[in-house]
A and B are shown apart, each in its own frame.
Chain A
Amino acid sequence: GAVVSQHPSWVICKSGTSVKIECRSLDFQATTMFWYRQFPKQSLMLMATSNEGSKATYEQGVEKDKFLINHASLTLSTLTVTSAHPEDSSFYICSAMGTESSPLHFGNGTRLTVT
């Protein structure tokens, strides 16, 4: 089956620093990748849609200068949380889609804690 690898699984960083999260589709080419944020006991909140070779499309209310998304290849997308603050602490999940008719496959998530 389709595998999406997300790294790191958890990270602790100090306030003001930047953190990069990688999302890789291991056995398929991901034309579209999505980044979600999930608060405890809540649903997934879409942050942005990422297409290979083009700028990401951010959802309303998501600061694109703070959450930098790069989709440089058909198998890799990265989310960089810049100048992280404690309120950015959350669970971030990436997902990838191959063809138009294929379902969404998820990474195993990254728990970010900003101290």
Chain B
Amino acid sequence: AQTVTQSQPEMSVQEAETVTLSCTYDTSESDYYLFWYKQPPSRQMILVIRQEAYKQQNATENRFSVNFQKAAKSFSLKISDSQLGDAAMYFCAYRSAAGTYKYIFGTGTRLKVLA
């Protein structure tokens, strides 16, 4: 069975600085998707970025980028120029490319942004 591990329960970053959130996963599958979702205090889950496993190039969305290391089964999220609005819970998620399409979520990392 697939698992997703986020080893950092909480992280802090100074406004305008850069922070990296870690995520590792375990799977025997070769084709899958990885995601980072953000959950602010409103509790609305918001997609931050996604990565297809077959793509070697790391995904980037404005200030958000990932470091996808398939062999190491690592999928970290880098937030550049951190803003107060980035403060939230961040969940890493895995989804098979076939089958039931169930998402497996990590336990989350709470990000605090310090002014």
Contact = CB atoms under 8 A, between A and B. Distances in A.
A93 B103 CA distance: 13
A57 B100 CA distance: 10
Nearest to B46: A106
B68 interface: no
A105 B46 CA distance: 8
B68 to A, nearest CB: 16
Contact of B47 (A43, A105, A109): A105
B75 interface: no
A67 interface: no
Contacts of A43: 91, 105-108
Interface residues of A, number: 20
B101 A97 contact: yes
Contacts of B37: 106
Interface string A66-82: 00000000000000000
B62 to A, nearest CB: 15
Contacts of B91: 43-44
Contacts of A106: 37, 44-46
Given A42-B107, A43-B105, A43-B107, A49 B100 contact: yes
Q: Give the size range of B's interface with the partner.
A: 20 to 34
Interface in A88-104: 91, 93, 95, 97, 100, 103-104
Contacts of A104: 35, 47, 93, 95, 103
A47 B114 CA distance: 36
Contact of A44 (B42, B50, B95, B105): B105
Given A43-B108, A103-B35, A108 B44 contact: yes
B108 A34 contact: no
A32 interface: yes
Contacts of A103: 33, 35, 47, 50
